[in-house]
Amino acid sequence: MLQDWFIEAKLGIFIHWGIYAVKPTGESWPFFNGEISYEDYMSQMDGFGAEKYDPAAWAKLIQEAGAQYAILTTKHHDGVALWDTKLSDLNVIEKCPAGRDLIEPYCAALREHDIKVGLYFSHLDWSHPDYPSLPKEIPEEDTGGASKTNRFNYQGKTDYEAWSRFLAFHRGQLKELCTQFDPDLLWFDGDWDRSSEEWKMKELRDELHAWAPGVVLNSRMKAYGDYSTPEQGLPVLSPDGEWEYCMTMNDHWGYMDSDTNYKSLSQIIRIFVECISMGGKLLLDIGPRADGTIPEEQEERLRGLGSWIRKHKEAAIESIKGISRNHYAGPSTLSRDRKNLYLFLFDLPQNQIFLNGLRNPIKRITILGTKEELEYKRMGGADWLNIPGNLWIDFPSQFEIGMGSVVKIELESELDLFTGKGGAVAQN
């Protein structure tokens, strides 16, 4: 169920960590798509040692990034559990040099740093013998030389005896996660294969709340989640209700040494601001190496984002969604009491900053984090119709191009905007 901490949160850190970081191959999909054989993919278990895993350092970095919560993969579609599950020997304790539970220390470290604990769990499990799958011939040219029959692609009818055994396993692992780690949030994935009825999602919601009272559930439980999870494509319009946009820093969720296509810090800040201006939050992904270290490019971006957030905290974290882009042609937020309006500037204005439809008298306009006051002038308007003029704001002398500056407009009263179609318009 939704909690105040989640509604007020603005930034989460997503962590995709698993055996797929060893070669690396990318998470689960390479064997599903026949790019490599299942055996080849799973051989990575021999190299997953978590030798330098330092959850306290992770938690400190997540805190320095300015995040309020984090989500760690406990089991991706490959079925390899990062905790000591008693329901399968496919886990990093029994099959990997890591040889220990990796989830409990993550949860403890986050809690020591006042970061809410999120656990990712894949409903589907491409390693489980009872997960419904029927052999499907895939054309040689589509397999890249891998085995012609990919037992992970299933078509047609499900064996419902196997399915009920799988559901018992699915529930059993979720009960382990809930009762052993008491997560604040469960981030589900992989519900697409079966219907809500086949997953028994309605019953699952009740079971989860019995095992972890108050736990927040993401949308990937068919219709039984608490919030939307748009992924990789930044929404243009705000999804209904609470939502969180999840995004990679480069093009891979898990560690991929060859992937240097990183978004710049300025781009990440801009995407973060676009999310919060629409009332959403950003779940920014990192992919640690098999030894538990975090790629320097990712650590650098997390620290840079945190530094920017600390400088603009009242506009970025202690705020609510902003105003329509019909009023200001850019992202904005409001203070919770609606008496401060924050306009985010990422591009150098050619002349002045333009705001339309603001009725409030203004106390002053400054650049957040500086003492610089900006000159402004209200022009036009139709007082007899209570239609305010336009506000023209001189842009700041010191302007940090790209990293996002914030114009703070302190109002004499709660925000009052004109939202009509104008005054005495000509009647057709």
Q: How many residues bind ligand FHN, per CB under 6 A? A: 7
* Shortest distance (Å) from residue 229 CB to ligand FHN: 7
- Contacts of 377-382 with C-beta under 8 Å, sequence gap 24+, read 382/423, 382/424
246 interacts with ligand FHN by CB under 6 A: yes
Calpha distance 34→152 (Å, rounded) = 9
- Contacts of 200-205 with C-beta under 8 Å, sequence gap 24+, read 200/167, 204/171, 204/174
* Shortest distance (Å) from residue 127 CB to ligand FHN: 15
Kindly state the tokens that stand for 383: 């007082």
Calpha distance 278→101 (Å, rounded) = 38
Binding range to ligand FHN, per CB under 6 A, among 21-29, 161-169, 204-212, 393-401:
21-29
Kindly state the tokens that stand for 254: 């898990």
Cβ closest to ligand FHN, residue 117 vs residue 283: 283
Among 243, 253, 328, 346, binds ligand FHN (CB under 6 A): 253
Cβ closest to ligand FHN, residue 40 vs residue 231: 231
Cβ closest to ligand FHN, residue 120 vs residue 418: 120
231 interacts with ligand FHN by CB under 6 A: yes
* Shortest distance (Å) from residue 283 CB to ligand FHN: 8
E-assigned strand segments in 76-127: 116-122
255 interacts with ligand FHN by CB under 6 A: no
Among 189, 226, 242, 274, binds ligand FHN (CB under 6 A): 189
Q: How open is the CA angle 190-195-200, to the nearest 5 degrees?
A: 90
Cβ closest to ligand FHN, residue 70 vs residue 246: 246
Which residues within the stretch 26-85 sit at the binding site for ligand FHN (CB under 6 A)?
Answer: 27-29
* Shortest distance (Å) from residue 5 CB to ligand FHN: 21
Q: What are the C-alpha distances in Å from 10 to residues 202, 208, 274, 305, 407?
A: 28, 25, 11, 12, 20
In terms of DSSP bridges, do strands 319-321 and 332-335 run parallel, antiparallel, or are they unpaired? Answer: antiparallel
* Shortest distance (Å) from residue 400 CB to ligand FHN: 32
CB 203 within 8 A of CB 216: no
* Shortest distance (Å) from residue 156 CB to ligand FHN: 22
Binding range to ligand FHN, per CB under 6 A, among 22-30, 38-46, 52-60, 398-406:
22-30
Cβ closest to ligand FHN, residue 169 vs residue 245: 245
Cβ closest to ligand FHN, residue 71 vs residue 345: 71
Cβ closest to ligand FHN, residue 31 vs residue 253: 253
Calpha distance 65→3 (Å, rounded) = 22
Cβ closest to ligand FHN, residue 196 vs residue 390: 196
Q: Which residues pair with 283 in a beta bridge?
A: 12, 246
Binding range to ligand FHN, per CB under 6 A, among 25-33, 94-102, 267-275, 304-312:
25-33
> Which DSSP string do the residues of 152-172 spell out, in sequence order?
TS--S---HHHHHHHHHHHHH
Q: What are the C-alpha distances in Å from 83 to residues 50, 61, 174, 220, 339?
A: 13, 22, 11, 22, 47
Helix or strand (DSSP H, E) at 140? helix 140-143
193 interacts with ligand FHN by CB under 6 A: no
Cβ closest to ligand FHN, residue 62 vs residue 391: 62
90 interacts with ligand FHN by CB under 6 A: no
Residues that bind ligand FHN (CB under 6 A): 27-29, 189, 231, 246, 253
